[in-house]
């Protein structure tokens, strides 16, 4: 007799999509108000909502749905919140990460370290293919941040020119499919 494990049902009255919606609304509202403290708080709230999405409680839905939903949630984040989310995912993959300040980052959004690897990471949340400039920024940002590798992470795809430049400079490209694989590994 084969026993099937029951999926844990959410005990909370909120479902994940509701939390994501509320977090996105708070983030959008706070960043549009131009009040200095609110964008940081909203980014934190958005990040907490995103982290709850990675917690493994999918409210009893199918096994495939959480990964797809997580990518859709990443698509809705603002630029800085997306950088924070990528740093969090890389952290769960064993990297020590630091998100650089928004201005003066020299094209590097996250610095990820593991072992003797120090990676300058350019993060792009785009709906269209990422171009070669993102690769150039990541490669150029290696020296000022004392990195020995460059990487570009996106929720989209890369243009052919970006792929060619990355191959020329040994820059790692993480597209939407690779990001989905990271989400599976980061469980």
User: Cα–Cα distance between 26 and 100 in angstroms, integer?
Assistant: 23
H or E stretch covering 181: helix 176-185
H or E stretch covering 152: strand 149-154
User: Cα–Cα distance between 44 and 38 in angstroms, integer?
Assistant: 10
pLDDT in tens, the chain (187 residues): 444 444 443 333 444 445 545 555 555 554 555 445 445 545 554 555 445 444 444 444 334 445 557 778 887 888 888 899 999 999 999 999 999 987 767 889 999 999 999 999 999 989 899 999 999 999 999 999 999 999 999 999 999 999 999 999 999 999 999 998 998 888 7
Cβ proximity of 158 and 175 under 8 Å? yes
Q: At what angle do helices 176-185 and 79-92 cross, to 10 degrees?
A: 50
Burial profile 109-118: b = 16 or more Cβ within 10 angstroms, e = fewer? bbbbeeeeeb
pLDDT at 40: 53
User: Cα–Cα distance between 88 and 98 in angstroms, integer?
Assistant: 10
Which top CATH class is 96-187? alpha beta
**Where along the chain do its domains lie?**
1-77, 96-187
What distances in angstroms separate CA 96 from CA 6, 108, 135, 154, 175, one per listed residue? 35, 15, 22, 19, 21
Sign of CA dihedral 42, 44, 50, 55: negative
Token output for 31: 């960043």
H or E stretch covering 37: helix 37-53
């Amino acid at each position: 007799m084969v026993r099937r494990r029951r999926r844990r049902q959410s005990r909370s009255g909120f479902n994940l999509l509701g939390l994501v919606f509320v977090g996105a609304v708070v983030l959008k509202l706070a960043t549009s108000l131009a009040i200095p403290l609110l964008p940081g708080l909203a980014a934190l709230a958005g990040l907490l909502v995103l982290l709850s999405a990675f917690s493994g409680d999918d409210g009893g839905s199918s096994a495939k749905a959480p990964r797809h939903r997580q990518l859709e949630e990443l698509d809705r984040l603002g630029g800085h919140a997306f950088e924070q989310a990528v740093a969090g995912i890389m952290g769960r993959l064993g990297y020590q990460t630091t998100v650089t300040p928004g201005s003066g980052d020299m094209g590097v959004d996250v610095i990820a370290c593991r072992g003797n690897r120090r990676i300058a990471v350019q993060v792009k949340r785009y709906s269209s293919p990422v171009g070669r400039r993102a690769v150039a920024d990541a490669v150029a940002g290696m020296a000022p941040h004392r990195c020995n590798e460059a990487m570009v992470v996106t929720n989209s795809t890369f243009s052919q020119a970006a792929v060619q430049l990355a191959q020329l400079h040994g820059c790692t490209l993480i597209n939407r499919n690779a990001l989905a694989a990271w989400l599976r590994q980061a469980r």
